[in-house]
Amino acid sequence: MSKNTDFEIGLQLDEGRFLVEISRRAITEYLKARKIVQPPPETPPKLFMNSGVFVTLRNHATGELRGCIGFPEPTSRLIEATITSAIEAATGDPRFPSVTLEELDELTIEVSVLTPPQEIDASPEEIPKKIVIGVDGLIVSRGSRRGLLLPQVAVEWNWDQEEFLANCSMKAGLPPDGWLLKGTKVFKFQAEIFREKSPNGPVEKASKEQRAR
């Protein structure tokens, strides 16, 4: 994983809107005919860079999570990773049944474009001090176990740094204090977040204050 601390994504609202709109189109076409959408000719050039990305689906009325899948690291071109993540969030998240075409009209789509994860180089007791709630997402990794939580999750649940680490550890299948164990690695990353205000509605770039709403 990268240790680059100066990486900036720098997507504009129109580029983020394109990612959200292609996500909805990708889900729709897949649910209708199992068709995989290809990047259209009008795709903004910056979206062909390699980048990590997650697509999150939520029920607009309740705010409940309905699916979230993505690529933690910049191993694929952003536009293609977004299309794949959108389809998988709708049909492949093992926590939920597949979204139906009718249900899609009740869901909002959120696209989080990630900076490369960087390992937190600190003693275990110093790690919480290196995490900024609302800015940093986390990956806790130990052997084959790995858990990831996006930056907005800590805000949504009103977690402090140690609660964030504990919940990320549990997502990796570790005990809550798994991040403290020798041999466990903790990485952080940031995200630019674009989301629909309503199903198939206007798209906004979420600020830190908006990420939990």
Contact 151, 136 (CB under 8 A): yes
Locus of tokens 């990268």: 2
Going by C-alpha positions, the residue among 172, 154, 153 that lies closest to residue 162 is 154
pTM of this prediction?
A: 0.92
3-state secondary structure at position 50: strand
Tens digits of residue pLDDT in 188-204: 999 999 999 999 999 99
Locus of tokens 């995989």: 36
Domains of the chain, CATH where assigned: 13-115+191-210 (3.30.700.20), 118-189 (3.30.1490.150)
Q: What tens-digit pLDDT sequence spans the chain (213 residues)? A: 444 334 468 999 999 999 999 999 999 999 999 999 999 999 999 999 999 999 999 999 999 999 999 999 999 999 999 999 999 999 999 999 999 999 999 999 999 999 999 999 999 999 999 999 999 999 999 999 999 999 999 999 999 999 999 999 999 999 999 999 999 999 999 999 999 999 999 999 987 554 443
Pairing of strands 107-114, 52-59: antiparallel
Quick one: tokens of 54? 């997650």
